[in-house]
Structure 1
Amino acid sequence: MLSIEQLSQMVQAHLGLTNNANEAQYTTKWIIKESPLGGRGIFATEDIASGEVLFVDHPLISGPRSGALIRRGCTVCSKLNTNKLFKCHKCSLLLCSESCKNSSVHDDDCGIISGWHSKVPIEEVDAALLSRALTAVRALLLNEEQKRFMTSLQAHILPQHGTEVKELQQYFEIPEGDVQLMILASCVLDANAFQIATSYGKEEMGKRGLYPVSSLMNHNCVPNTRYSYNSDLQMIVKAVKPIQAGCEMFTCYTGLLWGTPARRIHLYKTKHFLCKCERCADPTERGTFLAALKCFSAECPGSLLPIEPLKSSSSWRCFECGLRVPCDNICTLQSALGSLIGSLDFGNLVELENFYLCRVTKYIPKTNQIVIDLQCRLIWELGEIENHRWHDEQIEFMKTVYAILKINSFRIPTDDREKTIPLRGLFPLAAFLNHNCVPNTRNVFKEDDTMEVYASRDIERGEEIFTCYTNFLWCTPVRRYQFRSIDLLTWGQRRKTHGRTSSSGGFAYLNQLSEYRLALKEQLCRDTLRTVAALGAGDAHLRGLLLYHLHAALAERARRCPDLYDELKSEIESTIDQAYKILQGDISAPPDLELRHRYLGPGCDKPQEERFFILDTSENLAVSMK
């Protein structure tokens, strides 16, 4: 095993090699040393402010996750397009296009696998098994220094790890040295790999990466750091709260909003240790009661909690009436609840909403992790779908309509004294008029929204009649830039923004929500934010997402009721400002995050109606501002 000094030198070389151009990002405010928890850890040498970048890590190896149930996709770009996937005729890896087949990534993978002697015809090799083992296979591409770094990390040397590599030997004759290195890589990955987030709007195969510096951080159920991924799949690690000099820096290997029993079982099964942190030792989990169950006494309003939460076989006790319940009874109830939750269709908003509002709280307190998880799922879904999904025919029709409106529609002026959302209309005859920066016509809109076109000067016979697509008083560079932007936006970008069912958005559909559901979304955001705050999680990634969704709900309220804008303005601005500070630069952040911050955040001096018009056309602006 490497000494602390040798490991520190290797870490510094790794960070320097991966980001020479960005060395200014790195601080020297931490060191590696022995941890009281066992093994090594990262400790602050100076006071560190919340939000400060600690380091930017880069994966030694990355690739598909190894789980047998993971959907398999392209081994180069990770796309899950099952209609286009095909096997490489040399190595049997799954690919989705000639571009991926000819990539340097595939050349490296194929070079290794095709170099092994195949025991069966290559087309008979199990492509899913190859995908499961691929990340470990890529360890063979590391140089000697990188292999030394990888082998210095903690590894779970257990029979259940590396089975996918062993199964490959059914199909290939693999040198023993390669087999041993891949099995070791599998054990190291099991102990240290991080699941890599996908870009917003993309449906991709699950990926993992071995980030060696980040893997040196120990676990705590209330971590003082968070991590995100940029477009280069680098991991940016930041402080979520102030860290004092001498304190250890922690990450979290579990769900932040899981209760103590669930977290400890997960850690034991996946990381082979039982956490004993301050939160795990507190039966109430800092007053959040995430693991609490309703008292078995029908007349008692109290909650059951473990008496000794660090003891897996501990009895539970009601803190109201004192009733004690054996651990076996608690386990039976938790299993039943798990089966009940497992029967839910999480893609069905109506079913999810009814279960949350009408059923689940009959069995467990509103503070329980199951209720909190349902709250989060509803927050992500409310505003994204409204009792339907978009079908391909609808999308293609909308694509055509959108393209026509984008080029041909006219903005309809409104009474400046009225607080109304700006409108636009498609006037088919006027749409035939071409553009000239000095037009010979002018448009007059009537109260019934009809448009009359008048000659603005004498027009000679045979002369073409023009309108103007830009502001008449704009200077030439601004007019040309605006005119050029008309053709930049693709429907593909719009579809990625609107056709998503993940935790990050789909707020084009907020205007379809009923007033009740919009209010429900806002309340769920506030309730869940209070739980996150009670845990002392600081500026965790989850807090950023919740603030973003709360902002979107508030902005929609103000858009529907302009008279509420002055009342809501401060919170609309503060929530998007806080969300932006947490989520900026993260590939999984909502695509309109920056635009919302720019036009609905603090410091924007545009009038109210224009700020919300900008929100309606955010995709156009996102492109034109680049």
Structure 2
Amino acid sequence: MCESVKRTDNMVNNYLKSREIIRNEKSWDIRMSKLGGRGIFATRDINPGEVIFVDSPIIIGPRARSDSSEICVNCYRRDDLVKCSKKCGLPVCSVECENSETHKKECCLLNSWKKEDSDYSDLTGELLRCLTPVRSLFLNENDRNLVKLLKSHSDPKHGFEVDLLKEKFNFRLSEDEEIFLRFVCSVLDANAFEVVVGNETKQSALRGLYPLSSLANHNCSPNTAHIFDNKQRMIVRAAVFIAKDAEIFHSYVRIVWGTLTRRYLLYLTKHFACGCERCCDPSEFGGKLSGLKCQGCPGIALPVEPLQLKCNWEWSRVQNIDEANDVQEMFKFLDEKLSQLVPPTNQIAVELKYKLVWRLGYRPGYLWKELSLEYLERKEAICRELLELLSRLKVGQCKMRGLLLYELYLCLQEKQRRGLNESIEINNNNEDESEICNTKNEMKTIFDEAVDISTFDVGASQELKNNWKKADVFDL
């Protein structure tokens, strides 16, 4: 092990120990990767579903997106927000949150930077976008040194938060503060994860920097899946079997995107062009997410050279439909128009179907008890179709699989609620009893796997949480 890797390994382990989240029997270590730079590797065979490691955010806070919702800067709730009474400009939801140790430090710092009598009440959203890197200034020396070991991007566009602080707020930063903040912004852009907090009905999205997880390289068919628990810890599990000495991968992009979209976004945001096995396969292991309908025959047109980034496709029409809330319009577009242009496996069709899964059963007019049998059966069919696609993509027990399994279970449960008792009374014969038994067995199998995949996920439904075998990853 070279000195730089050894130093990184020691610092990461010390960090995990300081957070009391290192597991007794580690199944990973840090080595040089053939992809370049460092990576995480398995030190033994790891089975699907097994927890590989737990990570804790060294920095966490609001996202930098301009369209992010305002949230309390301490508990991250979105309700009952008021401006901090000490005039720092940040929103809080209670006296307790305003007086929390975390907020006291940032409130004092922001007030020390601003000019007297400055009022930023109309710029709360902009200030929230800058808050996460600002929190890095409160790190102790060991944590700062660990952040300095992480990968960073040097593109001029990284660090816009510092520009906002200086130009829009006229904050008076010291030279050392500005240098470190710009560096942290570049580290966050390279490594931060979107973190979901809250419960299944009220969630907020944050960005967090997880030191160990930041060292995992990308693969479009990752061998891990991760969730966040109610302490904002990241729990990383094996999605598939991982052999000893194999590299452990995350995916930085959505699994159901086609190759061109994935590679373009990776190049744009992470500054590398992926050349993994899936990207090199024109059919994406048979998933055909980039496929188009051939105008001259019934076949599907696929890119001959999938690693070429150039493309003249127009996506604006799809974006309009993508934003539509009307289920009927979405199905009409999917069935009558999109089906003429792309096969059912194309990423646009797949994304639209995935959105329909979350409209059917949850939107007013399409709640579970309001769904027509046609829509209920279509949702079931879409869930099964997308689950089959995930199997083809070799992503194992990923979070999307868990979500789709639970929605499929709810479809079968609703069908059972509507018709099972009537079926038993009218058609009480051995064949029907056998079919009912098979359905019950399938429902149990589906539900049990959804429970396993969702375990420790703060955003999981209460029904799934009630069936977890353990409430915390460190419970015996």
Q: Partners in 1 of 2:55 and 2:468 — Cα distance?
A: 27
Q: What TM-score does the superposition give when structure 2 sets the normalisation length?
A: 0.90
- Per-residue CA deviation, residues 162-202 of structure 1 (Å, 9 max, x unaligned), is 11212212321111111111111100000000000233334
Q: Partners in 1 of 2:25 and 2:223 — Cα distance?
A: 16
Residue 127 of structure 1, CA deviation: 2.2
1:190 counterpart residue number: 189
Matched, 1:16 2:13: no
1:576 counterpart residue number: 447
1:470 counterpart residue number: none
1:112 counterpart residue number: 109
> Which of 49, 65, 69 lines up with 2:63 in the alignment?
65
> Which of 283, 300, 305 lines up with 2:302 in the alignment?
305
1:288 to 1:582, Cα distance in 2 relative to 1, 3 A:
same
Residue 357 of structure 1, CA deviation: 2.8
Residue 596 of structure 1, CA deviation: 6.7
Matched, 1:218 2:217: yes
1:85 counterpart residue number: 82
1:273 counterpart residue number: 272
> Which of 456, 459, 466 lines up with 1:588 in the alignment?
459
The unaligned stretches of length 5 or more in structure 1 are: 314-326, 389-508, 599-626
- What residue identity is the alignment partner of 1:89? K
Following superposition of structure 1 onto structure 2, how do residues 146-225 of structure 1 map, counting pairs within 5 Å?
A: 146-170=143-167, 171-225=170-224
1:85 to 1:202, Cα distance in 2 relative to 1, 3 A:
farther
1:559 counterpart residue number: 417
Q: What TM-score does the superposition give when structure 1 sets the normalisation length?
A: 0.69
1:8 to 1:84, Cα distance in 2 relative to 1, 3 A:
closer
Residue 375 of structure 1, CA deviation: 1.2
Following superposition of structure 1 onto structure 2, how do residues 227-242 of structure 1 map, counting pairs within 5 Å?
A: 227-242=226-241
1:519 counterpart residue number: 377
Following superposition of structure 1 onto structure 2, how do residues 329-408 of structure 1 map, counting pairs within 5 Å?
A: 331=312, 334-335=313-314, 337-387=315-365
RMSD: 2.1
When Rg is computed on C-alpha atoms for both structures, the one with the higher figure is 1
1:286 to 1:230, Cα distance in 2 relative to 1, 3 A:
same
- What residue identity is the alignment partner of 2:443? I
Moved more, 94-103 or 243-252: 94-103
Residue 131 of structure 1, CA deviation: 0.8
Q: Partners in 2 of 1:268 and 1:538 — Cα distance?
A: 25
Paired residues, number: 453
1:37 counterpart residue number: 35
2:429 counterpart residue number: none
Following superposition, which runs of at least 4 residues in structure 1 exceed 6 angstroms of deviation? none
Residue 113 of structure 1, CA deviation: 1.2
1:566 to 1:381, Cα distance in 2 relative to 1, 3 A:
same
1:246 counterpart residue number: 245
Q: Which has the higher contact order (CA 8 A, sep 6+)?
A: 2
- Per-residue CA deviation, residues 347-402 of structure 1 (Å, 9 max, x unaligned), is 322322332233321221111011111111111221113527xxxxxxxxxxxxxx
1:608 counterpart residue number: none
> Which of 45, 48, 53 lines up with 1:47 in the alignment?
45
Following superposition of structure 1 onto structure 2, how do residues 107-146 of structure 1 map, counting pairs within 5 Å?
A: 107-118=104-115, 121-123=118-120, 126-146=123-143
Residue 39 of structure 1, CA deviation: 0.5
Q: Partners in 1 of 2:177 and 2:78 — Cα distance?
A: 29
1:27 counterpart residue number: 25
Matched, 1:537 2:408: no
Q: Partners in 2 of 1:166 and 1:119 — Cα distance?
A: 20
Identity, % of aligned positions: 37
> Does the CA contact (< 8 Å) of 1:119 and 1:172 recur in 2?
no
> Does the CA contact (< 8 Å) of 2:322 and 2:352 recur in 1?
no
Q: Partners in 1 of 2:110 and 2:203 — Cα distance?
A: 23
- What residue identity is the alignment partner of 1:511? K
Residue 204 of structure 1, CA deviation: 4.7
Following superposition of structure 1 onto structure 2, how do residues 416-427 of structure 1 map, counting pairs within 5 Å?
A: none
Q: Partners in 2 of 1:515 and 1:217 — Cα distance?
A: 45
SS in 1 for 2:378: helix
1:132 to 1:293, Cα distance in 2 relative to 1, 3 A:
same
- What residue identity is the alignment partner of 2:460? A
Q: Partners in 1 of 2:452 and 2:19 — Cα distance?
A: 25
> Does the CA contact (< 8 Å) of 2:77 and 2:198 recur in 1?
no
Q: Partners in 2 of 1:179 and 1:202 — Cα distance?
A: 39
Q: Partners in 2 of 1:86 and 1:153 — Cα distance?
A: 34
SS in 2 for 1:206: strand
Q: Partners in 2 of 1:101 and 1:15 — Cα distance?
A: 29
> Does the CA contact (< 8 Å) of 1:26 and 1:53 recur in 2?
no
Q: Partners in 2 of 1:352 and 1:119 — Cα distance?
A: 53
> Does the CA contact (< 8 Å) of 1:544 and 1:583 recur in 2?
yes
